[in-house]
Amino acid sequence: MWDNVNRTIDSLYDEMVENRRYLHQHPELSFQEKNTSAFIAKKYDEWGIPYQKNIGGYGIVATLKGGKPGKTVALRADFDALPIQEENDVPYKSTVPGVMHACGHDGHTAALLGLAKAMLPYQEELPGKVVFLHQPAEEYAPGGAKPMIENGALDGVDAVFGTHLWINAPVGVLQTSKGAFMAGADRFEITIQGKGGHGAIPHETKDAILIGSQLVTMLQQIVSRRIDPLKTAVVSVGTFEAGQAFNIIADTAKITGTVRVFEPELQDLIIQEMEKIIQSVCLPHEAEYDFHYAKGYPPLINHPGEADIILTDCKQVEGIVKTEEIEPVMAGEDFAYYLMERPGAFYFTGAQKEGHVYPHHHPKFDFDERALPLAAKTLLHAYRTYQERNRHN
């Protein structure tokens, strides 16, 4: 039966590509994915697979109940896009100005839909239940995972698996970790209020650009001088907005950035150090400030047993040439919330496009579509192996 499902997945390759390209041409931003959600729902209507819609926003939860006893395993794909103007010259280029699938979520959705359709003919032979989680709003905190969970998406679920198409790994390679895999992702905003004035009379001003520049430099000392070198943390400034003209000293400056950590204790330390640095820089200049720190997605911590399924058992999947345990990456993922509620694992499916060197979130991002059936097959294998390992539990 499993071989038949895999062959069916292969036979649906063209359909998965078609679905992915349609979604790529019609991207929608986080919390705005009304048409994408309707597209997914229409597929389940066509196939006769029951589902619930508007779960935690535009989320969809479809369920396929097998004919044999077993566990309930959830498989997740996200479907939001990014505020990026696409620069690729391809037939399936985004038709929405300033919005692009620049991270692979269109592929995640196409792969999960393909898997659902492939499993349907063998429903009576399947053990337990498989739950297809189609999640909105992964890219922008507070994200879509948490509200989906709060709306019951994991009710009755025993384990959860998810994958991310990853252009940093070749097609046929799977990567994950048996513990910490992706970082907690926070954001901060600092507004400095100084006193503007003529560029020729700086002594009568409180230069917000000067203050902000000192602040940016000193923030880098948190990781280099306040964090144990054997621990991992990132403090990055992403934007610095100030000034209106070449001969006017700016009265305000706005700085935003991100913090990435794996340990709550480090998160607390960084917040404290940031507050002290901001105070110490602004005070001598008699400038006021506003500091807002938003805790984002928690660290993504895989469960060892479920991660082992990816690293050990998924080697058997046709087309997978290598599985490897890698060091954690500093990107964030709200799949972390699912793993705080249920056993499971998140992993990367290699999707590197030969000769295409542009990273995730780049205007020229693209991936090798041959990774689509591999994502579907490995999710299927995770479901299958979890059922087999927990048959008597």
Q: Under DSSP, is residue 266 helix (H, G, I), strand (E, B) or coil?
A: helix
Q: Which of 28, 33, 80, 369 is catalytic?
A: 80
273 is in an annotated binding site: no
Beta partners for residue 234, in sequence order:
260
Catalytic site residue 80? Answer: yes
134 is in an annotated binding site: no
Burial class (CB in 10 A: 0-12, 13-18, 19+), 246: exposed
Q: Which of 86, 138, 333, 366 is catalytic?
A: 138
- Do 296 and 185 contact (CB within 8 A), yes or no? yes
Beta partners for residue 36, in sequence order:
none
Cis peptide before 142 (omega within 30 of 0): yes
103 is in an annotated binding site: yes
Q: Where are the alpha helices (DSSP H) in the chain?
A: 2-11, 13-25, 34-47, 105-119, 145-150, 208-221, 264-282, 304-312, 336-341, 371-389
CA distance 342 to 194: 49
For residue 22, how many other CB atoms are within 10 A of its CB?
14
- Do 28 and 80 contact (CB within 8 A), yes or no? yes
139 is in an annotated binding site: yes
Residue whose structure tokens are 């969970």: 149
Q: Under DSSP, is residue 28 helix (H, G, I), strand (E, B) or coil?
A: coil
The residues, any chain, with a CB within 8 Å of residue 56's CB and separated by 6 or more, are: 135, 136, 144, 145, 146, 147, 148, 149, 150, 151, 153
- Do 371 and 20 contact (CB within 8 A), yes or no? no
Catalytic site residue 138? Answer: yes
Question: Which residues are part of a known binding site for Mn(2+)?
Answer: 103, 105, 139, 164, 361
Active site residues: 80, 138
